[in-house]
Amino acid sequence: MLFAFICKDKTDHLQLRLDVRPDHVTFLNGLNAEGTLKFAGPFLDNDGKPCGSLVVVEAADKKAAADLAAKDPYAKAGLFESVEIRPWNWVFNNPASA
At residue 96, the pLDDT reads: 81
At residue 97, the pLDDT reads: 79
Q: Which has the higher per-residue pLDDT, 89 or 94? A: 89
Measure the CA–CA gap between 93 and 47, rounded to whole angstroms. 29
Structure confidence by residue, pLDDT tens digits, 42-87: 999 999 999 999 999 999 999 999 999 999 999 999 999 999 999 9
Fold of 2-91: Alpha-Beta Plaits (3.30.70)
Measure the CA–CA gap between 68 and 94, rounded to whole angstroms. 22
Measure the CA–CA gap between 5 and 56, rounded to whole angstroms. 6
Instruction: Give the list of residues 6+ apart from residue 44 with CB closer than 8 angstroms, or none.
Output: 50, 51
Domain map (residue ranges) of the chain: 2-91
The rounded percent of the chain whose pLDDT value lies above 90 is 95
In sequence order, the β-bridge partners of residue 87 are 3
